[in-house]
Homo-oligomer: A and B are copies of this chain.
Amino acid sequence: MSETSTGGSDGESATFIQRLRQAQIIEKTVELVAEKGYAGVSLAGIAERAGITKPAVLYHFPSKSAVVDAAYEHVLQELVSHVGAAVEAASAEDGPAAYAISMIEHLSVNRHHTRMIIEALGNSDAERDSAARWRPLAQLVQTARSARGLAPDPDSRTTALIVGGAIDSIVTEKLQDPDYDTGAAAARLAALIDATYTS
């Protein structure tokens, strides 16, 4: 799944120039998935976009699915690290709001990443576990609740789903309308999250 394994590299070694090429391939793959959708991606298309040929791609990755998987993991990792940093910097009280805001922020800027995630989540071969996807958010909600002296959320799973889905929707909208004010949307979402604390 995460191994490259063919010609040039394995998890252990992987020379630095190989990492460069792989990163380039992954970048172009993210672009293509974002533009043409998961179905429209082909090895030839990736190779052409990267300025190389198809076998060159397969030299660095064992198969097409390995390329796409790697691209998806790359995008997810960037998102997680960005949001994680934002949450860590925020106070415990506005934890969930900070989570939502930073997530919307990051995905609003990196539009290719957003589309890639949306595509991957809708695809049969990729990650489907939305519960696992939003689990960190559920934990944040609980932490913030206890910080405010409230009882634990009786259904943090649903709360996480609602907030996560809302983020999805807002970011998707931003993709279609670049003028859409995600800052205001994030504030409104944060207000709604706050409202659930007092219920």
Question: Which A residues contact B (CB, under 8 angstroms)?
Answer: 35-40, 118-119, 121-125, 128-131, 134, 155, 157-159, 161-170, 172-173, 176-177, 180, 184-185, 188-189, 191-192, 195-196, 198-199
How close is A192's CB to chain B, nearest CB, in angstroms? 6
B191 touches A199 (CB 8 A): yes
State A131–B173 Cα separation when bound (angstroms). 7
> Which 7 A-B pairs give the minimum distances between C-beta atoms?
A165-B169, A122-B122, A39-B39, A195-B195, A37-B124, A165-B165, A162-B166
A169 touches B176 (CB 8 A): no
Which residue of B118, B163, B185, B198 contacts A158 across the interface (Cβ within 8 Å)? Answer: B185
A159 touches B188 (CB 8 A): yes
State A119–B40 Cα separation when bound (angstroms). 14
Set of chain B residues within 8 Å of A180, measured between Cβ atoms:
157
A177 touches B38 (CB 8 A): no
State A192–B196 Cα separation when bound (angstroms). 7
Q: Which residue of B lies closest to A184 (CB)?
A: B155
